[in-house]
Every structure is written in C-alpha cells, then in structure tokens.
Amino acid sequence: MRVTVNRKAHFNSAHRLYRKDWSFEKNDAIFGKCNNPNYHGHNYELIASVTGEIDQETGYVIDVKILKDIIKAEVEDAFDHKNLNLDVPEFKDLNPTAENIVVVIYNKIKAKLDANLDLEVTLYETPRNFVSYSGN
C-alpha cells in the first residue's frame, strides 16, 4: 500500500529574472518587472510530498522529522533571506524562475531520500502562481 506524506515549508528570497547574454531591452520585454536590476522578493511556500510503502515495523512511509530536517538543511537554510542570483550557487548560471527553483529543490531533497521513495515538490511563488515537479 503506497501512501503520500506531505510537509509544508516557507522561505523568503529575492531574485531577478534575466539572461546575461540578452540586452536590457530584450530582458525587459520578456521578464518585465521581474527583470528589476535591484531584484524583487517572494514569500515562497513549499510542499514536499513523499510517496512510498508503509514500513510494517514503524508504520511510517518516512519519519516526518527526517523530512523536516532535510527540508531545513537543503532548502530553508540554503535559500531563506538570500538573493538567489547572488547567494545560491545553483543559480550562478541558471535563471531563478519558479520552474528552475522547483527542479533545484527537488534534486536537493531527492538526493537525501531513500531510493525507493518518490518525491513531488510544489512551490508557490505567490498564492495563485505555483509549479510542481516530480522528476519527469
């Protein structure tokens, strides 16, 4: 029997959407106000959903405390109150769009989970704008 365990988390980060190889005008046309050279911020909400078989000894798919600690170390400590473009190595050469952020987060969490567990990450950039990624 496969069950999904969900954990919510929160972090605040600033970013700027732009490509270094494009002119300011082209960046402005594509990314609009998200291309602000002084950056802009979001209060991100995250849901990590881990799916797997229930362990017959513990009754857990994953101990939520373990999932909480992984999210804290891999996401909250790494991204909270940071400028994604300047402070987070994964975005040195990767545009920090919501789509790219969710893939980076997925890869960081997935690397810490047992291989038999499936993961889906949903990232809310705003209450109405969100993305999901499950490794496909």
Q: Average pLDDT for consecutive 10-residue bins of the chain (136 residues)?
A: 97 97 96 96 98 97 98 98 98 97 98 97 97 96
- Catalytic site residue from 40, 53, 81, 99: 81
Is residue 10 flagged as an active site residue? no
- Catalytic site residue from 15, 42, 74, 125: 125
118-124 and 82-83 beta bridge pairing: unpaired
Q: For the chain, what is the HEC assignment?
A: CEEEEEEEEEEEEEECCCCCCCCHHHHHHHHHHHHCCCCEEEEEEEEEEEEEECCCCCCCCCCHHHHHHHHHHHHHHHHCCEEHHHHCHHHCCCCCCHHHHHHHHHHHHHCCCCCCCEEEEEEECCCCCEEEECCC
- Catalytic site residue from 34, 45, 76, 90: 34
Residue 76 amino acid letter: E
46 is written with which tokens?
Answer: 């995250």
pLDDT at res. 136 = 85
pLDDT at res. 2 = 96
Is residue 125 flagged as an active site residue? yes
